[in-house]
Amino acid sequence: MIDQIKQKIKDVLLQKLGLDDIVVEEPKKGFADLSIPLFAFAKTLKKSPLLIASDFGAIIKKEVPAIIKFEFMNGFLNLFIERKSFSMTVLHEIFEKKGLYGSQTLEKKETVVMDYSSPNIAKSFSVGHLRSTMIGNALKNIYKKCGYNVVAVNHLGDWGTQFGKMIVAYEKWGQKDLVRQNPIAELQKLYLKFHDEEKNDSTLEQQARDVFRALELNDDYYLSLWKWFKEESLREFMDMYDLLNVSFDSYDGESFYNDKMEAVVDELQQKNLLKIDDGATIVDLGDSLPPALIKRTDGATLYITRDLAAILYRYHTYQAHKVLYIVGNEQQLHFKQLKAVTNLMGYDFDIEHINFGLVLIDGKKMSTRSGKFARLEDVINQAIHEAKEAIVEKNPHLKNQDNVAKAVGVGAIIFNDLKNERHLDVDFNLENMLRFEGQTGPYLQYSSVRIESMIKDYDIHINEVDETYFDEDPYFDLVKLVSQFPSIINRAKESNSPNIIARFILSLAQGFNSFYGKQRVIVDDQRHLHTNLLLVSCVQIVINEGLRLLGIESLKEM
């Protein structure tokens, strides 16, 4: 609602005065509810900021009923909202809509394809896969909240030379019984052994290339091994996704496009975009980008060839012009090349690379190849175990301790990731992220539980609310915060940044706890009581919906 008032002020001033642009902001120091910086207009209007403030203020007060007072201070026009009606409108909407508060509808339903998670088969799901998975899941929820049709795609890494390496390693050093007993762990060891042996045997790389080329040509034996590796991997991955409460509309990986790449190559050829360079087939992207390598000298396709096949499939199958690729910072060049090639092909796809930093443990990058990585399942189980110990200590008689511990442990890991700006590296420290105070998931869950303990025994009656309390700063400050939620969701969508929601619900929880420290919620006076209950229940609704958008479970007890 604050955004609507700001837009109304802008529209009125632009219409009445014919100015180019008006900035209406929310002052951080609390001098007013809204303010307009005036220095930029002094030269245009040939008036002092004081006179401009008088003119602007008179127009706003007349045309925007929500504004009841204005003041001039240090070059700014400060505006004050009529608190009681504003508060009741905001809280009534939240209380009625519950979790639908902040939801939007689009006049024309648009489809967005999101490509995220995408682990490689025959490798354990590591902590390093967490970022793409949870950023993608949060963006899926945010875009759906904003009215978009979202197709969530898990573009599994189930093709490429690495599977030639895996097959060579299995044939040379693998033991079928061991692999059957513990498939992913054994295949992981074989993958690491290949890279160790490669240092002393220069022929291994070519052997892997040859095997992958045979795989592309549908060699029955190699295909049977590859399918076995994939089935075992998917079983482990699905356990992880269930634990994280993440789901996808499609698990079509790179191999799905194996029979669709020749059509892409043919289209590139028909549009005269292909060149032969040193035996390899390329698309020349000019001086600004390196050429896109479509086929190696041996005829094997590459990553970008498969991504071209994938984006054309998504365009024709889902009618999606917008595709978000939630992939690490290191892939920026690849997606610039992908966009450049599709442009040359005559398509106008909206391709966005949603980049993110690394997950660091003890300040160091994890590496599957070196063996310095942490299995996500092990880390989550440890988080759940430690969360349960803390919960039992605080509340030994709590029912459903295991379910609560799971929600807290998993939520702590997810929030630690999503509270950070995505392009930055994230330090993975379980002890810090499991704290019940500070900028953590458990702090948010506990704040919601604290509110639940206050409101659970009451029916809240809006007609018994005493709106005069909203003239008081502690009350109105909380109302202004919850009123920002729809615009916060929009900002998170526009910048593809879940951390905007994470930071907002942190500030809201902090605002509630500050309010609770100053004001008793459960009081004898019935009108005062229902005022308090309405306010804190609306705070809880927004915190819980913010957690849901991030992929974190809210709780009734903990």
Tens digit of each residue's pLDDT (9 = 90 or more) over 239-295: 899 999 999 999 999 999 988 999 999 999 999 999 999 999 999 999 999 999 998
What is the rounded average pLDDT for all residues in the chain? 92
191, two tokens: 């993958």
Answering whether pTM is above 0.85, one says yes
Reduced to 3 states (helix: H, G, I; strand: E, B; else coil), residue 555 is coil
Q: Return d(Cα 160, Cα 296) in angstroms, integer.
A: 12
For CA atoms 176, 178, 181, 185, give the dihedral sign: negative
Q: Secondary structure of the chain: what % helix, strand, coil (to 5)?
A: 60, 10, 30
* pLDDT of amino acid 368: 47
Which residue ranges in the chain fall short of pLDDT 50? 368-372
CB count within 10 Å of CB 410 equals 21
Q: Are 532 and 519 in contact (CB under 8 A)?
A: yes
Read off the DSSP letter of residue 471: G
Closest by Cα among 513, 504, 494 to 545: 504
On whether the CB atoms of residues 133 and 116 are closer than 8 A, the answer is yes
Q: What is the DSSP letter of 367?
A: B
Q: How far apart are the first and last CA of the chain?
A: 33
Cα–Cα distance between 382 and 379 in angstroms, integer?
5
For residue range 451-483, list pLDDT tens digits in order: 999 999 999 999 999 999 999 999 999 999 999
Q: HSE (CB half, 13 Å, CA atoms) of 416?
A: 25
Going by C-alpha positions, the residue among 286, 289, 341, 300 that lies closest to residue 215 is: 300
Alpha-carbon dihedral 212, 216, 222, 225, rounded to 10 degrees: 90
At residue 367, the pLDDT reads 53
- Distance (Å, rounded) from C-alpha 435 to C-alpha 442? 7
Q: Are 337 and 351 in contact (CB under 8 A)?
A: no
